[in-house]
Structure 1
Amino acid sequence: MPALNSAILWDQHGYPDPRIRWHHHREIEFHLIREGPGTMLIGDAMVPFSAGQVTMIGPDIPHMWLSNLGVERSFPRRDVFCQVHPQMLERLISAVPDAVEISSLIARSARVISLSGRSATVAGQYLERMGEHSGLRRLADLVELMTTFVETPSDEWKPLLLHDYDTSRIRNNGAGEQSDDGMANDDRIGDAISYMALHLTDGMLNLDTVAEQTGMSPTSFSRRFRNVTGRTFSDFARRLRIALACRLLVAGDDPIAAIPMQCGYTNLSNFNRRFLQETGMTPSEYRRVNRAGTAGAAGNV
């Protein structure tokens, strides 16, 4: 959260980093990805990302960015972001009627806003500039950043979630409770998701193996995983694999028949069936539509 002497938190970090985990917070977050492709886990969606992605995430929406580590084993400058509490923005709106457009922006952020084109470039520049400023100048950068989101043309923004995320399940599912050894279970699940992302193509990736990595019994891990993520372990793993396939289909040139093996599938027909189930398209349709630039939010899994 922001420091006591500031209403705005600005920070940056690379990948991997111990701060990267499946988490949520009351603050609204503006986030820029500087380096590398990967999968963004956001609410109940999984979205391929690439360098230049700029998003605005509403309060209490869980999120996590997982980079695809191939030849490069790290991305030292991957993330830059700022966080601001919605109450601060509400006070700004109350005191300055000219800022009323921020209200509709906050409402839209419940579905997570992703920018593209020139708007993403401009928003990313304001996020970077915040790191050079403090005090009033940083506040001015925030206002310019929000203005960019407000004024973005309809063809340069899209929601990443198909509906407003139900944050009540975050507040009611016991997220963040402490285990017997004092370690937050949310952190354990975040570690589990990171492990899954790094071992998607392993034939031994299963619930028992991942539970052992977290120091939990399979039964406890399975129950806690579903409470925190809202999905079963097998469902989550399948969606991670399909999200990786989506990125490979759009960003790469490998034949479609070669992609299942890169995502942990040994059976082409099983991959095709699962892909159609998750995306509503065949792999060839997905590649054609997304490369044509007409997919809208079709990248969501």
Structure 2
Amino acid sequence: MKPQLIDINLSGRKTIQIKKLETLNLVSPFHFHNLCELVWIEKSHGKRIVGDHIDNFEDDDLVLMGPNLPHIWLNDKLFQQESAANIVKSTVIYFPADFLLNLTDEQSILNPTEDLILRSARGLRFYGETSKKIIDILSNISEKEGFKKIIHFLQAIEILSASNEYNYLASVTFKNSYDEKDTNRINTVYKFLMQNFHRDITLKEVADLCNMTTNSFCRFFKARTQKSLTQFLNELRIGHACKLLRNEENAIANVCYQCGYNNLTNFNKFFMSITGKRPSEYKKQLKAKA
């Protein structure tokens, strides 16, 4: 996968940059940069790829990523179909990894902060009370001026550093081995798969997008993503199935076909291999937690 190396224009500056987005859809390419990035999706839903991790995102998705970790957020088609008035709302904070470490020599502060930055190399999704506290801070941080903005940011980092309410995203073995020459090629593939996984997709169809033979494409895709096209597509489909199964009204058979599977046998097999549960078990557990 060829993510783009993005220049956020903070090189050499010991500062933070806060970007508040209100747009019709998320269109940034699969990319990486040399900064840490804290992302709060206030309103939107779709698919998120961080490193080699594929997942859904919804309102109040909160993720911290370390430098040079490839990522992309892409809206589901349904997001715009639900209402023409739908608007993506998001707040993103970029900051150098050493910004926090240069503020003090106090080890009681440095140690948890250094640990947070190290953990963020795989991407961290925060949830629970931690997420609520951070969202409360980020909801008005862009309106703050001067030192007040920095103080609010530091409060957020302090909370994140002390929290155990998070999940790792990218696998422990993931390494960013991407270069710049394949940017357009991999963006085209990712976006195509994320928008068309609900139907039959042939290997040749995807290889043709890259003007490659099927054999060449398979080698290219596996080398960049550390996954086969089939594995990637199944993870994308089963992730979407998990999202649909949260709605009690969605029957398992209907979910199967909405996610691109032609029969329940294959759906059950891949659901079990990826989640460790049968779809029926997954649905029962969701109901028990409700």
If the length of structure 2 is used for normalisation, what is the TM-score?
0.83
In the TM superposition, residue 276 of structure 1 has moved relative to its aligned partner by 0.5
Equivalent-residue separation in structure 2 for 1:291 and 1:11 (angstroms):
38
Kindly provide the amino acid, as one letter, of the partner of residue 225 in structure 2.
T
In the TM superposition, residue 245 of structure 1 has moved relative to its aligned partner by 0.6
Kindly provide the amino acid, as one letter, of the partner of residue 69 in structure 2.
I
Secondary structure at the aligned position of 1:48 is classed as: strand
Q: Deviations over 1:19-57 (max 9, x none)?
A: 2x3222332211111223333222332223221111112
Secondary structure at the aligned position of 1:88 is classed as: coil
Checking the alignment, whether the CA contact within 8 Å between 1:31 and 1:80 is kept in structure 2 is yes
1:177 alignment counterpart: 180
Equivalent-residue separation in structure 2 for 1:264 and 1:163 (angstroms):
26
Pick aligned residue for 1:206 from 186, 202, 205: 202
Pick aligned residue for 1:241 from 233, 237, 240: 237
Is 2:71 aligned against 1:41?
no
In the TM superposition, residue 110 of structure 1 has moved relative to its aligned partner by 3.4
Q: Which runs of 5+ in 2 are unaligned?
A: 1-7
Is 2:233 aligned against 1:222?
no
RMSD of equivalent CA atoms = 2.7
Is 2:263 aligned against 1:267?
yes
Identity of paired residues, percent? Answer: 24
The 5 A counterparts of 1:1-301 are 1-3=8-10, 7-13=15-21, 14=23, 16-19=25-28, 21-70=29-78, 72-73=80-81, 76-93=87-104, 95-97=105-107, 99-100=109-110, 101-152=112-163, 154=164, 157-161=165-169, 164-167=172-175, 170=176, 173=177, 175-178=178-181, 185-203=182-200, 205-251=201-247, 253-293=249-289
The 3 A distance-change label for structure 1 pair 116 and 216 is same
Equivalent-residue separation in structure 2 for 1:292 and 1:228 (angstroms):
40
Kindly provide the amino acid, as one letter, of the partner of residue 25 in structure 2.
P
The 3 A distance-change label for structure 1 pair 265 and 282 is same
Q: Deviations over 1:59-101 (max 9, x none)?
A: 33322223322262475324321121212223235x4545322
Secondary structure at the aligned position of 1:39 is classed as: strand
Equivalent-residue separation in structure 2 for 1:71 and 1:123 (angstroms):
25
1:182 alignment counterpart: none
The 3 A distance-change label for structure 1 pair 87 and 257 is same
If the length of structure 1 is used for normalisation, what is the TM-score?
0.80
In the TM superposition, residue 135 of structure 1 has moved relative to its aligned partner by 4.2
The 3 A distance-change label for structure 1 pair 140 and 48 is same
Kindly provide the amino acid, as one letter, of the partner of residue 94 in structure 2.
Q
Checking the alignment, whether the CA contact within 8 Å between 1:2 and 1:9 is kept in structure 2 is no
In the TM superposition, residue 269 of structure 1 has moved relative to its aligned partner by 0.7
Checking the alignment, whether the CA contact within 8 Å between 1:2 and 1:8 is kept in structure 2 is no
Checking the alignment, whether the CA contact within 8 Å between 1:31 and 1:55 is kept in structure 2 is yes
Equivalent-residue separation in structure 1 for 2:100 and 2:236 (angstroms):
35
In the TM superposition, residue 247 of structure 1 has moved relative to its aligned partner by 0.8
Moved more, 260-269 or 119-128: 119-128
Checking the alignment, whether the CA contact within 8 Å between 2:123 and 2:170 is kept in structure 1 is no
Secondary structure at the aligned position of 1:80 is classed as: strand
In the TM superposition, residue 275 of structure 1 has moved relative to its aligned partner by 0.7
The 3 A distance-change label for structure 1 pair 248 and 23 is same
